[in-house]
Structure 1
């Protein structure tokens, strides 16, 4: 699938969760979209449940199918639990870290900031949203981009250091990727074991 650019509410209703931010549609229509949404059969096959979980993870992090499969391959070759490794790789993406630091209120916005060369990594411009950060890397807003309205508005409502694996310095508009997050630290409601089972078939 290509990167989804359609209605956010439709995706929220599909998964029954606010995938791309809070949506009133979930309260008004708490059933899947489409003409058969209300009467859709409840029981799903094991494969359908696993596929839905993979699709949900892809929508949350904004990753395409080929990228996701590649990341799963890397995760499966690493030591440790494959599902946890996968989530750690997704969390270590530059666009996701820009979002987590509060520089952008959404991952879509964070991806755009990175692509448009507003973000530095260790003092160098990096315009690749999928760039993987390592512990100790410093992510900062480019000097001439600090006055951008989208960035200043997002940071004005930022809660200080919400995530234990990141450090934020509001004076320099920079944050540090301190360590790889543990599964307990990652707040996303993803059942990663279902994704592992799907790829293991």
Structure 2
């Protein structure tokens, strides 16, 4: 499966804001967006005015990069969201939030979604008592995610939990830190998906 293997900080600089793709580094002075607040490349500092299409495209790219989803997969999510009841843009974000790698990140078992995706692929998590190694697996309300017994001493997971405990957890999941498990309580509302995106622009882009 295709995946992005380039520098993550370039993606944040291209969008002109922090996408928190590198976990704890994004909260420090080492963050590339803090050091160089312009797009990467030779002409990065000569940023011109974007057209309406350009603005919509950048918003779509931003969401794709936040969740680590490739273009074809993102289109599938959008088509599925457009068939769901309610607002299409909100349904799209809710689908992306239900991904197993995202929920693992939200539960504090990893410092970023990229790390969560790798941990899931290596089979470190159980969903309702069964090993699931598919990052795009969509969780349902009531599903329980827990760290495998043999993986509970991994430093990457314990350190991530420690940091997440200080930051707090979303209200749409329940966490038992000592048992290293969490429950997907309900679908998050748009207000609870705290991302700096305007999903309606994505709907307009794909509606052309």
Could you tell me which residue of structure 1 aligns to residue 119 of structure 2?
113
* Distance (whole Å) between structure 2 residues aligned to residue 45 and residue 145 of structure 1: 49
Deviation at 1:25, TM superposition (A): 1.8
1:1-201 alignment, distance < 5 Å: 2-19=2-19, 20-21=21-22, 22=26, 24-41=31-48, 43-159=49-165, 161-201=168-208
TM-superposition CA deviations, 1:52-72 (whole Å, max 9, x none): 111110000001111110010
**Structure 2 gaps, min length 5:** none
Deviation at 1:119, TM superposition (A): 0.5
* Distance (whole Å) between structure 1 residues aligned to residue 2 and residue 163 of structure 2: 32
* Distance (whole Å) between structure 2 residues aligned to residue 107 and residue 24 of structure 1: 17
* Distance (whole Å) between structure 1 residues aligned to residue 11 and residue 2 of structure 2: 15
SS, match of residue 140 in structure 1: strand
**Structure 1 gaps, min length 5:** none
Deviation at 1:5, TM superposition (A): 2.0
* Distance (whole Å) between structure 1 residues aligned to residue 77 and residue 134 of structure 2: 16
Deviation at 1:17, TM superposition (A): 1.0
Comparing 32-41 with 169-178, greater Cα deviation is found at 32-41
Kindly report the root-mean-square deviation, in angstroms, between the aligned alpha carbons of the 2 structures: 1.4
Deviation at 1:3, TM superposition (A): 2.2
Report the TM-score when normalising by structure 1.
0.96
TM-superposition CA deviations, 1:118-165 (whole Å, max 9, x none): 000000000000000011000000010001111111112222652010
